[in-house]
Structure 1
Amino acid sequence: MLQPVISRPHEPALFARTPGLERHRVAPGGLTVIALEPGDRLEVIDREGDQCGELLAFDDNGREALAALGLQGSAGADFIGRLLSDGSRESLHVASGLDKRRVDCRHLPPAARLWPAGTPAGFSRAFTSSAAVLVVVAAPGAPVAVDAQQRASELRLIIQRANPASLLLPALPAPLGEVIDEFTLAPGTARDYVVAAGQYIQVLDVAGRQCSDFVAFDRRGLDAGREIDLDPTVTRTLNGNAYPGPGLFSRFFDRDLQPMLEVVRDTVGRHDTFALACTARYYETQGYFGHANCSDNISRALAAHGVQGRRGWPAINFFFNTGVDAHQQLTLDEPWSRPGDYVLLKAMRELVCASSACPDDIDPANGWQPTDIHIRVYSDKERFSIAMANRMTPDADPVLTRESGFHPGTSALTRQFIDYRGWWTPTHFDGYGTLEEYQACRERVAVMDLSALRKFEVLGPDAEALLNHCLTRDVRKLAVGQVVYSAMCYEHGGMLDDGTLLRLGADAFRWIGGEDFGGEWLRQQAAKLGMKVWIKSASEQIHNIAVQGPLSRTLLSQMIWTPATQPTLEELGWFRFLIGRLNDYDGPPVMVSRTGYTGELGYEIWCHPDHAMQVWQRLWQLGEPLGLAPLGLHALDMLRIEAGLIFAGYEFSDQTDPFEAGIGFCVPLKSKQDDFIGRAALLRRKEHPQQRLVGLELDGNEPAAHGDCVHVGRAQVGVVTSATRSPSLGKNIALCRLAVDYCEPGTRVEIGKLDGQQKRIGASVAHGTVAFDPDKSRVRG
């Protein structure tokens, strides 16, 4: 007899599935404060290994209460006290909050040291509280020089509440600043509120998977009898995008084409198409007569302001996961939002607003379980960083877009930034422009902030063995001071990432890639093999700037000092690095690698973020006489396509192998004797290739674009992965993943535009993927 089929999808970090479970992050070199009730279980996890932990606990009177967790103070465990007295804005904020709980931060007792040094990744300890206590957990660590590798790493806290039944919703996150007004909206309700120009509105999804509709009116317009509200058509048109998204120019406009709101932060990254709030008619057509709906609720909320009610409100549908598919059909699915996710908006003028908590329980719009929405209004005196949020794994805490140590320098030259892999990175520079930046790199010298690259320290006696197992390159052949480019593959041969590996010592390596998950993947493989190795995240403490172009050596040789044990800048070979100082013996420590992403002679300077602006200022001081220019992502894209260099999500993904991505040279299947992840699959794929990456030279002046189909006759035989207008060659070029049957140089193909059939651009398969300087004489020079 058949049993009922039950839905149990894997939904990490969703409160509705595990209401008593909480996750918190302790930042490297920082601390986190949490409250425990009697019977609550706290687990502290050393995610990356070899990270000491400290813990303090206090009762309601502010007295030390470590005994409630079965702990006692450890001699010399004073990191929490030192951090709270360092005078930083963050420490003053935390100390102020602790002071309200009667904790005297000026005379803190010794903390409990949770474990000795050398713990493996994933090591943990668990404690059950016997009383109500306030707990402070820290991940001790100080800034580390760029040539050192023992960096602080994060801790993870898992709390299992003893009484989850009393927690109908997770606790609200702490306010971001000075709160002017706040209220909670129960499912199926809406409320009006007024915000002044410059004030901030935070729309919080308390439990996750819940939608909230938002409308706004110009208050002065209402006073004058005019209903001037948000207009979706104007907003879409002026933003040039169907999906409103956060950023420097993410704004919502009214019918007069005037900005009403600016999106400051978004921790979700996916909302709807700015369509109608749910209506009575929608529920009626589904057979649910009289169902509560957001449009009627909003009309009732705004009636007090003289706003005419509407059967359907064009609203910003926060957290509502809708989209338009390839067939122009509007689709919907469960929201992406998780507990505590939010959108932060800034009012550009005085507004009358209304927000709802959607009552939809008949489809996936609210994950089938409508929950609360919380609204906070913040003072116009607050200053919040503009940011999106990224998560390394689905259950990880969101990390807001960061600014590198070079940001004060780049932001003085441009406001044109995008969120590139979680860091604000310039696209182009005011007063220069993409073509000027490109020419500076090809003819003189240019600098670019590449701090968004992920850095991981790989340390320990099994470091070489692990990397040799996880990378396609033969790591055993890598000498100290050498750099090698490699692919990182899954078992099926698809690419997880590409990057460069630096060998700093016999058992010390640094992996530079594009994926945060790369470090987690290495840890997972080390755990499977039982290896003695630590993979420490270093992206926050190593920032890097590329110095590229024919005059890059001339520039850097004036500012990099090296000891006698290191090669000089002039002596540094291709894919080698040196450890030196900025300017002289007493300057800040830096690393310089002869690497780049432009196809030109070039270098990258690696430094601690505290020293980034010293490097930046020295570069400009010495570089201006040489014609130095900044370099943005748009110009970099032109340079790397000309050089045939690949980019994640374009030339490769987990669906493509290194051979299909055009980097088969980094998979030495014959010479590398050791087994590595994906080797068997790559042997099969190499023997039976289906596609190859080739270069295309286009006829005429019309450009191709990423994703364009490539045809021979009516049949599609490939796809354009990247394309650009090459200023040096005076023609349009492209990189294309093409069926092996048509990869012979000179083969004629057609790039499809419109639907791929109505318009075609003729093109020829080029000799190789490198369009500019194919013998690499410039980069090797």
Structure 2
Amino acid sequence: MTLTPRFETPYERSGVLVPGMPVLEPGVERYPVPGGGSRAVAVEAGDEIAVLDPQGLQQGELVIFAPDGRSDAGMLGASGAGRPEGVIAALSGGTPSGARVARALDTAGFDLGRADAVRIFDEGSRPGDMARFHAACDGLVILAAPGGPMRPDAQDAPTGLILYVRRASLRNAKGGLKPPDPLADPIHDFNIQPGEARSYEVKKGQYIQILDVQGRECSDFQAFSLRALDKGIERDIDPTTTRTLMGALYPQPGIFSKYWSVDQEPLVEIVQDTCGRHDTFGLACTARYYEDLGYPGHVNCSDNINADLAQYGIRPRAGWPAINFFFNTMLDETNAIGMDDPWSRPGDFVLLRALTDLVCVSTACPCDVDPANGWNPTDIQLRSYGADQSFSRSIGYRKTAEADVEDTKETGFHGCFARHTRNFVEYNGYWLASDMTNHGALAEYWACREKAAVMDLSPLRKYEVTGPDAEALVQLCVTRDMKKLSVGQVVYTAMCYEHGGMIDDGTVFRLGQDNFRWIGGNDLSGLWLRQQAEERGLNAWVRDSTDQLHNIAVQGPLSREILSAITWTPPTQPTIDELGWFRFTIARIGDYDGIPLVISRTGYSGELGYEVFCHPRDAAAVFDAVWEEGAPKGMLPLGLEALDMLRIESGLIFAGAEFCDRTDPFEAGIGFAVPLKTQSDDFIGRAALETRKAQPQRKLVGLEIESGIVPSGGDCVRLGRAQIGEITSAMRSPILGKTIALARLDLPHTEIGTAVEVGQLDGQQKRLKASIVRFPHFDPTKERVKGNYG
């Protein structure tokens, strides 16, 4: 059987689809290779090897080494191209994947300088193109996806490849998955089968990795202070103390990351979590649980924990309080605890660090009578690593349910903002500052309103859309007219599904006749563009450039003055002083030889402002140049809390608050981005939007709230006992001296001046008096954005 580009399918049984559990044919293994990175995989004679280019236009380079160190492209049935420059460049680029491959080569004693490379996709490729090879001997295969840094004004972003290996001998005949490679050289490395418990000792500073090998499997975890045990005292993780001190159902990587004992001693902290959905409410499964369901004698985790901890003299308990990693529990409106299948995918894990010497115990839950383990208990892998290892904090991010998990990344500007704060939160797969130590959100807000502020907006998703049909593709997928968009111009627009619900809002940059850049809030918008190009056979490519373009926003009345002083623009480009609203320029820091930039006159603050795009490797130098000029003028760094205040006052919408895939642009308050009268071409969702505009049901409005209480997003808005809408965002406005909100209401009750009430508690027992007002609440004519500060 031959590998095909579309052989991964979602798990499906009896009408139940599980996209998060992709199924590969028996014997097939999958290895993602990041753009600019590499991957090494051991192969055996007869194995089939395939390389897939998901996004198109990404070259690949393949090398094979025999066990004796020889390298010959003929071992893959291919013609050689000599020295593997792409692999060598990928390994020297400082990426984690390159470091792993370099270690593998050093261990085996293989010399890349004498290797024979196979070049893949040299003539260009379409999304989904695949190259196939067969291994003639045992060996080590290395695949690189070479590519250098992308200039801000270029569109040649290196993108990922996927390496597939079909084994000639099916070593996993039952279809089970092997545990992924360890994160480092492990101290402990053992597999726990369902219905087993395993205890182990961990020293202070060492790391514990609990890994769900097959996916949808729970693992109870408990840890005891070894010092306390030596004194005959049992001090283990107390879920209630942990919830109270951390202010969350369970800790997450970041500031609030520790698990505590009843004595309020921290025992472990969570460093990485690729799943993000666990349980700290229920006990580990008990004999009584199964007995009450009619299954007396069923193996259970509590009895297993008792048996294994007996060697430490720990007293048995009928039910063990535990951190049940991957167990998916929830509270409903009646305070009942429910459960469903776990969210964990194959290979998901949590990584913890011991804060004192510990005795730990882990299980693989045997429950097969409810959804706790997806009705199919499987194995857990337990590993520990030395205290000399270093692992960055990470909350796993996936672009879609079926996508590969990615570590939380630091933007190119992270170190610059870290000089001003430790308070970083995860945002769309990146660490962003929440506020600044010694300043705080209010001071940052006023700096932006009165002087200038600089903020990190690098997590915005960037996609390069190129090719002869690029204009046709973007025209099809967004609501604005791309035929009217000039080179050097930016336009704000919406992207919708066929039913009119929004995928995203964002901006389109036109870099050339057939060159566009989409910048939005989430990856779904870029993936939607690529999907439409493929399904409609358009001659256009959509490539992810998010990791090649990081950006800060310089906002506030002094932003033009600051950027004008530090940038140079060629004669063919507008200067900062000349740059019009929703235009961009190609610039450099300092002079002709300075760091290349793209600067757009756009922002998310309601003030005059600019966004500055550069490659991440140049980010620190760009920030320093801005800071050196801006700090003496009163500029402050600005975090997410202050940004939210600025955007609510200015009536700027946010995904998950003002819109979702059930909200059309008119209901989201951006009907101006859907010019149905002047946009004559068809676009996805047009027919539905024409119907929705003719028959509107809901409208986004502004509210002024009489009290100083700030409602939460989702709080109901009522007229008498009837609910007529909900709050989308709210704040106490510093500049207006009022509590204000944005709300989506049923159309008959949206007249300015209408008195309404915001319901809290159950919506009936507590009401906040409010009235509908014009929005944006602040600077509704956009004079400040235009630079008019009269």
TM-score interval w.r.t. the shorter chain? over 0.9
Q: In 1, distance between residues paired with 2:449 and 2:132?
A: 57
Question: Among residues 771, 776, 780, which one is paired with 2:782 in the alignment?
Answer: 776
C-alpha spacing 1:21/1:629, structure 2 compared with 1 (3 Å): same
* 2:773 counterpart letter in structure 1: A
Q: Please tell me whether the aligned partners of residues 722 and 735 of structure 1 are also in contact (alpha carbons under 8 angstroms).
A: yes
Q: CA deviation at 1:19?
A: 4.7
Offset from partner CA, 1:157-201 (integer Å, 9 cap, x none): 333444446355322222212322221111111111111111110
Q: Does 1:153 align with 2:159?
A: yes
Question: Among residues 107, 111, 128, which one is paired with 2:117 in the alignment?
Answer: 111
SS in 1 for 2:104: helix
Question: Among residues 174, 186, 196, which one is paired with 1:179 in the alignment?
Answer: 186
SS in 2 for 1:220: helix
Q: CA deviation at 1:96?
A: 2.1
Q: Report what 1:732 is aligned to.
A: 739
Q: Report what 2:447 is aligned to.
A: 440
Question: Among residues 652, 676, 689, which one is paired with 1:669 in the alignment?
Answer: 676
Question: Among residues 404, 419, 426, which one is paired with 2:426 in the alignment?
Answer: 419
Q: Does 1:211 align with 2:218?
A: yes
Q: Report what 1:373 is aligned to.
A: 380
Question: Among residues 140, 146, 149, which one is paired with 2:146 in the alignment?
Answer: 140
User: Residues 451-530 of structure 1: matches in 2 within 5 Å?
Assistant: 451-530=458-537
Q: Report what 2:8 is aligned to.
A: none
User: Residues 32-431 of structure 1: matches in 2 within 5 Å?
Assistant: 32-64=39-71, 66-75=73-82, 77-85=84-92, 91-105=98-112, 107-164=113-170, 166-168=172-174, 169-431=176-438
Q: Report what 2:593 is aligned to.
A: 586
Q: In 2, distance between residues paired with 1:668 and 1:245?
A: 44
Q: Please tell me whether the aligned partners of residues 189 and 356 of structure 1 are also in contact (alpha carbons under 8 angstroms).
A: yes
Q: Please tell me whether the aligned partners of residues 232 and 275 of structure 1 are also in contact (alpha carbons under 8 angstroms).
A: no
Q: In 2, distance between residues paired with 1:226 and 1:619?
A: 57
SS in 1 for 2:449: helix
Offset from partner CA, 1:1-54 (integer Å, 9 cap, x none): xxxx96153334637785534322110011111223344333211111111111
Q: Where in structure 2 are there 5+ consecutive unaligned residues?
A: 1-11
C-alpha spacing 1:135/1:6, structure 2 compared with 1 (3 Å): closer
Offset from partner CA, 1:231-275 (integer Å, 9 cap, x none): 111111111112332323211111011211111001112112342
Using the aligned pairs only, state the percent identity.
54
C-alpha spacing 1:86/1:633, structure 2 compared with 1 (3 Å): closer
Q: CA deviation at 1:757?
A: 0.2
Q: Report what 1:22 is aligned to.
A: 29
Offset from partner CA, 1:546-580 (integer Å, 9 cap, x none): 10111111111111111111111111111111101
* 1:317 counterpart letter in structure 2: N
Q: Please tell me whether the aligned partners of residues 522 and 535 of structure 1 are also in contact (alpha carbons under 8 angstroms).
A: yes
Q: Report what 1:692 is aligned to.
A: 699
User: Residues 556-575 of structure 1: matches in 2 within 5 Å?
Assistant: 556-575=563-582
Offset from partner CA, 1:378-406 (integer Å, 9 cap, x none): 11111110001111233322111000110
Greater displacement, 479-488 / 20-29 = 20-29
Number of residue equivalences = 775
Q: In 1, distance between residues paired with 2:95 and 2:114?
A: 18
Greater displacement, 471-480 / 29-38 = 29-38
* 1:287 counterpart letter in structure 2: G
Q: CA deviation at 1:58?
A: 2.1
Q: In 2, distance between residues paired with 1:775 and 1:82?
A: 52
SS in 1 for 2:17: coil
Question: Among residues 708, 711, 734, which one is paired with 1:704 in the alignment?
Answer: 711
Q: Please tell me whether the aligned partners of residues 15 and 208 of structure 1 are also in contact (alpha carbons under 8 angstroms).
A: no
Offset from partner CA, 1:108-136 (integer Å, 9 cap, x none): 32310122232111111233434433211
Q: Please tell me whether the aligned partners of residues 24 and 397 of structure 1 are also in contact (alpha carbons under 8 angstroms).
A: no
* 1:114 counterpart letter in structure 2: I
Q: CA deviation at 1:464?
A: 0.6
SS in 2 for 1:252: strand
Q: Please tell me whether the aligned partners of residues 58 and 66 of structure 1 are also in contact (alpha carbons under 8 angstroms).
A: no
Q: Please tell me whether the aligned partners of residues 71 and 116 of structure 2 are also in contact (alpha carbons under 8 angstroms).
A: no
Q: Please tell me whether the aligned partners of residues 58 and 145 of structure 2 are also in contact (alpha carbons under 8 angstroms).
A: yes
C-alpha spacing 1:93/1:25, structure 2 compared with 1 (3 Å): closer
Offset from partner CA, 1:685-718 (integer Å, 9 cap, x none): 1111110000101012111110100000111000
C-alpha spacing 1:164/1:90, structure 2 compared with 1 (3 Å): closer
Q: Please tell me whether the aligned partners of residues 242 and 250 of structure 2 are also in contact (alpha carbons under 8 angstroms).
A: no
C-alpha spacing 1:134/1:711, structure 2 compared with 1 (3 Å): same
Q: CA deviation at 1:85?
A: 4.8
* 1:615 counterpart letter in structure 2: V
Greater displacement, 337-346 / 125-134 = 125-134
C-alpha spacing 1:237/1:453, structure 2 compared with 1 (3 Å): same
Q: Please tell me whether the aligned partners of residues 37 and 91 of structure 2 are also in contact (alpha carbons under 8 angstroms).
A: no
Q: CA deviation at 1:230?
A: 0.5
SS in 2 for 1:166: coil
Greater displacement, 406-415 / 83-92 = 83-92
* Runs of at least 4 residues off by over 4 Å: 15-19, 85-90
